[in-house]
Every structure is written in C-alpha cells, then in structure tokens.
Amino acid sequence: MRSFTGLPEEALFIREVRTAGIALRPAVDALLETLTLPVDDPALADLLAEATRGFTVFAQSLLSVKRTITPETFSFEMRPYFPPMTVGGQVLYAPGGAQMTPLLVDILLIRPEPGEPQEEWYEQYLVENLLYLPAAYRAASDRARRHRPLLPRLVDEAARHRAHGPEVQRNLAELRSLMREVLRFRLPHLQLAKANMNVRPDGSLGSGGYTTDSLDHLADLTLERHRLLSEEPAAGRAQR
C-alpha cells in the first residue's frame, strides 16, 4: 500500500475508503434492479435490504474516520497530498469525496426531479463529477436517469394504493432503513467537512474541489426526501 506520510491515520483513511467503496458496489447493483419494480413487488424488499447493508458499511467507515482523524491531521498532514491536477487545460480533483460511489446512490434514490428547486444545481453537479466514475458506473448513471428516482416514485405509488398490503408495508420499511443509513453518513460527513474547513484558510476547497455549500445542498436534499417518506403513511391513509 502506497503511503505519502506514513501516519497511522493515513493508513486508516485508505483502509476505510477501500472498505466503503467495495461495500457500495453490491448496493448500487441492487438499486439498479429496483428501477422498474412497483411498490408492491415482493422482490423489492430484499434488494433494498442489500443496498442498506452496503450503505451501513459505508456510513460506519465514515464514522471511523471522523472518530480517529482530527481536522488538523487531515487538513495539514494529509490534505496537501490531494492536489488538483491540470490535464489538457482541465482541472481535475483527485477524485475526492464528491466523486465517490454515493454519487450514484443519490442518482438512483433521491436526485431532484424536473421542476424541483435543486434540479439546476444538481444537474451541474453531475456534469462536473460523473466524468470521474468508472465507465460501468457512468453507464449505470445513464440507465438510472431514464427512470424516476426510487424514493419519490415509490412514495407516489404507495399513495395511490387504496390499502397498504404487507408487501407495500415491508418495502416502505426497507426504504426507511436505507434512508436512515444515508442520513447516518451524510450528516456526520457534513459536520466533518465543516470541522476541517474551520481550521483552514478562508476560501479553501475540500478534496472534491468544493466548499461545504455543496454538502449543505446534498444534506438538504436528503432530509427533504426523508421527510417525504416519513409523511407517506398519512397520505396513504387519507385515500382509504
């Protein structure tokens, strides 16, 4: 394993990023299988549970980094080895955090839909970051974007059901479990990024080439989707 600093914190960081990336591969595959499944499909719950297992590992890896590596160690001992590179006149950022696999999970699960307030910002965010993903993941993104994002679609379908049968209830419960893990990653990640920015000079960028404003947008989007899902049972009861 190549190391720039020899610090135990760097070794942990590399190990946790590798663990997280591997765990999300089956999660992405499972979410791709849900793209056309209706809210009452019996196969949906197991696929969502598979995605949740992967994202649980991802969230745990982030929390391990947050507990172990101080903002000072990351910002001043490790961050200097994340320099942007200019290739053919284009500035490339590593890839860093913004270009990791959760980008694809967001596309599949919660991305803004046409007409929503964050749509324009998110589309530009994708233009800037999809190019870093492996070719297979870029193809998966293209496939995902031909369908509605999973969470709002399933919520809408559930609201149209006159009664929530056991399959619908089970599938929505698994979707809630997945969203809890996404939040368990996203909110600590935002806190961690802000803690790092607080010890850096004004105007600094994160490893993905962004300020924390982008993480604020992503956290807001995730919380909005979580609220939409939390409100769904009331919508379903109203139609009975």
Class of domain 8-238: mainly alpha
> What is the model's pLDDT at position 232?
66
> What is the model's pLDDT at position 199?
80
| pLDDT at 213 exceeding the cut of 90 | no
> What is the model's pLDDT at position 112?
97
For the chain, percent of residues with pLDDT exceeding 90: 62
The pLDDT confidence band at residue 224, using thresholds 50, 70 and 90, is very high
pLDDT tens track for 11-29: 999 999 999 989 999 999 9
The Cα 29–Cα 204 span in angstroms is: 35
Q: Tokens for 160, please give them.
A: 């149209």
| pLDDT at 101 exceeding the cut of 90 | no
The Cα 185–Cα 19 span in angstroms is: 14
Q: Tell me the domain boundaries of the chain.
A: 8-238
The CA distances from residue 112 to 18, 120, 145, in Å, are: 29, 9, 11
Residues with Cβ within 8 Å of 171's Cβ and at least 6 positions away in sequence, in order, are: 39, 40, 41, 44, 45, 48, 154
Three-state SS for 206? coil
pLDDT tens track for 36-82: 999 999 999 999 999 999 999 999 998 999 899 999 999 899 988 88
pLDDT tens track for 130-158: 988 889 999 999 999 999 999 999 999 99
- Say if residues 215 and 105 touch (Cβ distance below 8 Å): no
- Of the candidates 155, 120, 171, the one whose C-alpha atom is nearest the C-alpha of residue 227 is 155
User: What mean pLDDT do residues 225-237 have?
Assistant: 72
> What is the model's pLDDT at position 235?
41
pTM score, two decimals? 0.87
> What is the model's pLDDT at position 194?
75
160 CB-contact burial (10 Å; exposed 0-12 / middle 13-18 / buried 19+) = exposed
